[in-house]
Amino acid sequence: MTDSGRNVPRRPIAFGPDALEANGGTLPGPAEVIEIAHQTAAVLVGAGRAADDPEVTARLVALVDELGLSTVADLWAKRPARTLPGALWRLYALREWVRRQPVEASRQYGAGIRFTDVAHAVAGVAEPPGPDEVRALADEILTGVFDGDLAVALERAAAFAAVIAAGRAELAHDRDPHDPATAGALTTSGAAMQRTGEDLIASANLWRDGELD
């Protein structure tokens, strides 16, 4: 199976009981764990884009709902940010945060809009950006991974992250005089979100160049 000229393996390496026995009863080593991470990411994206089926896409978007965030983290969270599994992990983690804290996500997003007009336009959140709107955007971004332009989906996620980062910085500024601890936490998490956005932009460029593996 191929996707935009990329060779996509038919299925990921499985390490169930039979495979473990064949492997001497041992857990996969570091190199095998890396291979599993990249193969599962490639298979997921390749299968989703090849299926051209809204039901399949919906299930893939809701992958964390079915498997749990910790399972997805075990697969992909340790891979570099500018790889396919690393980028997918960030997209799913963003969606999960918005799904769990939609009110806070919309508050932070609203606080950042006036500083990030272009990013707000690229993200494409419906107006006004309330909890339902940011939840819908998170789903739309992941939907685009499987039935749209993956680079565009990554760019929309990066733009969303940029607005959130600006919002956290603004909220930190407001809180600093009377709650410096919370302000410090917001500043730190805002910087982390800014880095996430930068990594997602870089991943989008790598995908367009055929080098996001």
The number of residues making up the chain comes to 213
3-state helix, strand, coil in the chain (%, to 5): 75, 0, 25
Dihedral over Cα of 92, 188, 201, 43: its sign: negative
pLDDT digits (tens, 9 = 90+) for 168-180: 999 999 999 999 9
Q: Say how many CA atoms lie within 13 Å of 129 toward its Cβ.
A: 24
pLDDT digits (tens, 9 = 90+) for 27-68: 667 888 899 999 999 999 999 999 989 999 999 999 999 999
Spatial contact of 1 and 50, defined as CB atoms under 8 Å apart: yes
Is residue 185 pLDDT above 90, yes or no? yes
**Angstrom distance (rounded) from CA 108 to CA 116:** 12
| Contacts for 13 with CB less than 8 Å, ≥ 6 apart | 19, 28, 32, 35, 36, 39
How many angstroms separate the Cα of 58 from the Cα of each of 48, 141, 147, 191, 197? Answer: 10, 12, 10, 31, 24
Dihedral over Cα of 140, 143, 147, 150: its sign: positive
**Angle at Cα 199 formed by Cα 196 and Cα 204, nearest 5°?**
125
Is residue 14 pLDDT above 70, yes or no? no
- Place 15 in a pLDDT band, splitting at 50, 70 and 90: very low
83-116: buried (b, 16+ CB within 10 Å) or exposed (e) per residue? Answer: bbbbbbbbbbbbbbbbbeebeebbbbbbbbbeeb
| Contacts for 7 with CB less than 8 Å, ≥ 6 apart | none
